[in-house]
Amino acid sequence: MAISGLGTHSISLFFYVIFATFLHKGAAQTISAQGQNLVTNNVSVVEGETAIISCQVKDNDDSVIQLLNPNRQTIYFRDVRPLKDSRFQLVNFSDNELLVSLSNVSLSDEGRYVCQLYTDPPQEAYADITVLVPPGNPILESREEIVSEGNETEITCTAMGSKPASTIKWMKGDQPLQGEATVEELYDRMFTVTSRLRLTVSKEDDGVAVICIIDHPAVKDFQAQKYLEVQYKPEVQIVVEFPEGLTREGENLELTCKANGKPQPHQINWLKVDDDFPSHAVITGSDLFIENLNKSYNGTYRCVASNLVGEAYDDYILYVYDSRADGAPQKIDHAVIGGIVAVVVFAMLCLLIVLGRYFARHKGTYFTHEAKGADDAADADTAIINAEGGHNNSDDKKEYYI
């Protein structure tokens, strides 16, 4: 009579308690569902997200199905949830499926969940929930902020507090690099990974991005980057501003020294190698001006630029030619040279043709006289004999006119 006064939900729970108690007493006789009707799947879920646990029955004969947590507490008995954890919600229930969601997953939810089917004997299938914990934002640090060309620098990248341990990769621009990783295990199978990258830099590396890429199943495209700042010694080039062509006596010379480096050169000097600098040469900043050139100014002029990294130089060799009136080399007229070459070639061709015709004509006359002995020969042998006779038989063939 007391039972009849209870609500429908209370009656269901009452029978569930009795039925579950009876079934748990026979748990020792439970068999695995491998090869049986009960099927489930393992689940990997990121911490804080939702996991779906599925218990499926291929051929159900009206047997009862329930879901247990890793502590073997009943989460759902058919479509009833005895466990007071509202994060578990029924997604679908039928004779062939029990589908349950677990929201806001935490590390404490990780473990083996049990699907039970109360047949004779009972069947069980296991669903392992693996909770993935993404690492925190990567921490990128360098041993020094500014590096001089040719020196080695070290950059470290740290991925903290992940499960499982992260993998760290390095890129310099489009070029993959290899770092040295260390893994530190924390509590609850959490890991911190630190990778150290050592590289020798050049001036071409200035402004190039070094990228730390975190590879982890819980995150995608997780990276941090740092742009290299490389200092390098100056690059020096001497440019002739005037004159455009040859340097001649009496003319002026103007040179500009262009120097670029990081940091920018703080000093630019002009000097004459192995000689004294012309007394009236004028230096203004990076420019050198010499007026009224003469041959005593010939030599090598050097521009030297320096910064905190080092110094570099460029040389200009000055050779002063005679003035235009004194036979200084003039600009070559290529059209005139081409005309002269054409005339010479034509004359040579004409000479070859005349010589060829001359030799051909005299060669023909020679063979005609040689062959005179064969003109009246009856056969080849007679012709040879007549030819060998030469002019000795010429008297036999003389004709006399009266």
The CA-based dihedral angle spanning residues 212, 213, 216, 221, taken in that order and rounded to the nearest 10 degrees: 130
The CATH number linked to 162 is 2.60.40.10
- 63/118 same-domain check: yes
Q: Which residues contact 283 (CB under 8 A, 6 or more apart)?
A: 270, 289
Mean pLDDT confidence for 319-346: 71
Render pLDDT for 236-249 as a digit per residue (tens, 0 to 9).
999 999 998 899 99
- 116/141 same-domain check: no
Cα separation, 23 vs 30, whole angstroms: 10
For residue 163, being part of any structural domain is answered with yes
Mean pLDDT confidence for 50-76: 93
For residue 43, being part of any structural domain is answered with yes
Range of the domain at 186: 136-228
- 221/150 same-domain check: yes
Determine the pLDDT at residue 385.
57
- 84/120 same-domain check: yes
**Domain boundary residue, one of 268, 295, 318:** 318
Tell me the pLDDT of the chain averaged across its residues. 83
| Backbone Cα Rg of the chain | 52
DSSP state of 209: E
**Domain boundary residue, one of 175, 207, 228:** 228
Render pLDDT for 7-56 as a digit per residue (tens, 0 to 9).
444 434 444 434 443 343 333 333 444 446 889 999 999 999 999 999 99
Cα separation, 259 vs 390, whole angstroms: 92
* Residue 26 Cα to chain centre, angstroms: 65
Determine the pLDDT at residue 359.
78
Quick one: tokens of 159? 């991925």
- 146/198 same-domain check: yes
Percent of the chain predicted with pLDDT > 70: 78
Cα separation, 394 vs 396, whole angstroms: 5
- 222/240 same-domain check: no
**Domain boundary residue, one of 108, 132, 156:** 132
Query: How many domains does the chain contain in total?
Result: 3
For residue 350, being part of any structural domain is answered with no
Tell whether the model's pLDDT for residue 329 goes beyond 60: no
Contact 214, 194 (CB under 8 A): no
- 128/41 same-domain check: yes
- 182/128 same-domain check: no
Which is more confident, 24 or 359? 359
Mean pLDDT confidence for 135-162: 96
Render pLDDT for 71-115 as a digit per residue (tens, 0 to 9).
999 999 999 999 999 999 999 999 899 999 999 999 999 999 999
